Amino acid sequence: MSNIWPTILKEFSDVPDLAEATVIGLRLGMAALLGALIGLDRERRGKAAGLRTHTMVSLGAALFILVPLRSGMEIGDASRVLQGIITGMGFLGAGAIIKQSSHGGIKGLTTASSIWVAAAVGIAAGMGREATAVLGTLAALFILVVMARFERHIEPDESRTPPDGNGPPATGPRKPASARQGGDDGQDRDDGQS
């Protein structure tokens, strides 16, 4: 019975001191925060994969890379961990696309790609590349927020193109931007380009 406490303490010895705990906490906290910022945009737009999903993806990716690096695994072996994370995010992103395509259109591509980016941000934070993680998050937010607004002004008017996509544009008045597919709300569109 007296061996129980030393055994339990030994199981928690992978964080030997306060400095190591601070590094781990900072990296995990940074990954969670940056993932949440990306997820906030998706949450605000009412997407199935929102704040919590992106936060968990980023945190999980950071943990997946942080553990092997902190346990002394060679970088070549850790690269296989990275490959696994990237593949896993592909499956998770595919689920976001499939779930939203029940009406026959393709939706969710932007959300799927934001999940993938959240994982990359988590990997960067987990590897101690916090500046890279912050810059990656800022780039993602620029794409999700600023480019979405710009994109609404340049998207083609599908009401003026024949259904088969061939031939000259249909004649008639042009629909206002808010009445066109995708509307004026920055949502993922059904045309497969988001």
Q: What tens digit of pLDDT does each residue of 25-66 get? A: 999 999 999 999 999 999 998 887 899 999 999 999 999 999
Per the structure, the complete domain to which residue 118 belongs is given by: 14-155
Full DSSP string of 64-128: HHHHHHHTT--HHHHHHHHHHHHHHHHHHHHHHHHHTTTTSSB--HHHHHHHHHHHHHHHHHHTT
How many structural domains are present in the chain?
Answer: 1
pLDDT at 188: 47
- Indicate the average pLDDT of the chain: 80
Over the stretch 161-175, which tens digit does the pLDDT of each residue have? 545 555 444 444 444
Domain membership of residue 138 (yes or no) is yes
Query: 120 pLDDT exceeds 90?
Result: yes
Does the predicted model carry a pTM greater than 0.85? no
Domain membership of residue 191 (yes or no) is no
- What integer is the mean pLDDT of 110-136? 95
pLDDT at 158: 58
